Structure 1
């Protein structure tokens, strides 16, 4: 009886959440899906054009490549930061966690504009490179794929650090002590114990970063050039410039399917590793 009452209470508390999801997620998603197949009548023109367009294929390739590069960069840097934080005493970790969280306190639009100053021909990166090279090299990283990856990595890094840190701090330290007693070196301990046990955090961070980067709009729009356009920017072009809502909706649905497929692949890889363990 108590179980039934508790279950009813849980359902009652979750109903507002389900209502919000239905209104602000499922309904807009349904509108986009309907717009992709309805243009005065049922049509698949948007999907046919999206699948046959060379421009869309190139932008799709840009989206995947830039997203993977930004996620991989965030993974390498994020794991180093998380590993350093995990080895610190818990009492001294708080100030550094605040520094990790700082990007959450600033709008991505403001940060992207800041990178236009930092990465430009008169920015600190160009001045530092000129000083180190004796005024022989003044790189202008603006409007390039490099600047897009740097800007996206700055935004994605906290999403990678926090889940990896959670996995590292919950590991049993006795395992490392036992490995040291058996003669294992730092490299073997990391590859055989630390890294495998932290994979749930790694997969969670990769999933979040990859999902966020696939739909990134502001950063490639401000820091990238015409050759670095991503699908979100192309959707914006078709909705605001050509007013082709059917094609834009079809591209949006394809982006959703692509993101879901990548997430599903990573999830299957993780489940496969857990089964082997």
Structure 2
């Protein structure tokens, strides 16, 4: 009886969120999937037309390249920052956590606009470079792939820090202390203890960064050039200028499939990693 009441209460608690997901996520997703295969009849012409010209293949390759680079750099930067925060105590750790969270309080649109001031030809960064090394050292960092990657890292970094930090804080400090007593150096302790035990956090950070990168729209639109279009920008092009809703739906479904494939790949890697399998009873 108690078990049935518990299940009923759980169902009631889940009902509002489930309803919202069905109405505002599942139903629109089904509509997009339907539009991608229906145009006066069921057909895959929308998918086939994407591969007839070079535009889609070029945008797809650029999306994968930029997303991979941004994910890699933001995960590496997030790991270094998380290691530093994990070594702090009390108020100092709280200050660092607050500084990491501050970018989340600002919209990606505002952050991207602020980066145009920093990365422009007359921006603060180029002024500093020219002041130190001369005019010939000026770097083009705006309206190209470099600006897009910098903007994406700026957006993704907080999302990589927190899952990695959670894994690092869960590592028993006695393990490192015991390793030091046995003569292990800092590098060996990191490679044999800290890194393997923090891999679940690294996987979660990589998953979050990559899925967010694949669907990035505002940052490439503001900081990138015409050659730096990503999949989300291509969807916008199809809906607002080409007015091909079936093609836009097909692009959206391919983007969803890419995200799903990446999630499955990471789950496969994590499931097959040493120490991830449950011991036999």
Q: 1:154-169, aligned counterparts within 5 Å?
A: 154-169=154-169
Note if 1:140 corresponds to 2:140: yes
SS, match of residue 136 in structure 1: helix
Q: 1:69-80, aligned counterparts within 5 Å?
A: 69-80=69-80
Provide the residue aligned with 2:11 in structure 1.
Answer: 11
Alignment partners' CA distance in 1, 2:51 and 2:2: 55
- Give CA-to-partner distance per residue, 1:137-191, whole Å, 9 cap, x none: 2222111111100000000000000000000011101100110011000000000
Quote the offset at 1:39 in angstroms: 1.5
Alignment partners' CA distance in 1, 2:268 and 2:49: 31
Provide the residue aligned with 1:254 in structure 2.
Answer: 254
Note if 1:200 corresponds to 2:200: yes
Q: 1:49-64, aligned counterparts within 5 Å?
A: 49-64=49-64
Note if 1:113 corresponds to 2:113: yes
Alignment partners' CA distance in 2, 1:138 and 1:48: 44
The two structures, once aligned, show a CA RMSD in angstroms of 1.2
* Structure 2 unpaired stretches of 5+: none
Alignment partners' CA distance in 1, 2:278 and 2:131: 52
Alignment partners' CA distance in 2, 1:169 and 1:40: 56
Alignment partners' CA distance in 2, 1:167 and 1:72: 18
Alignment partners' CA distance in 2, 1:275 and 1:49: 44
Quote the offset at 1:276 in angstroms: 9.0
The alignment covers a number of residue pairs equal to: 277
Provide the residue aligned with 2:152 in structure 1.
Answer: 152
Alignment partners' CA distance in 2, 1:140 and 1:67: 20
TM-score (norm 1): 0.97
* Structure 1 unpaired stretches of 5+: none
Provide the residue aligned with 2:41 in structure 1.
Answer: 41
Alignment partners' CA distance in 1, 2:60 and 2:87: 40
TM-score (norm 2): 0.96
For the structure 1 residues 38 and 151, does the alpha-carbon distance in structure 2 shift closer, same or farther, using more than 3 Å as the test?
same
Alignment partners' CA distance in 2, 1:66 and 1:161: 20
Quote the offset at 1:52 in angstroms: 3.3
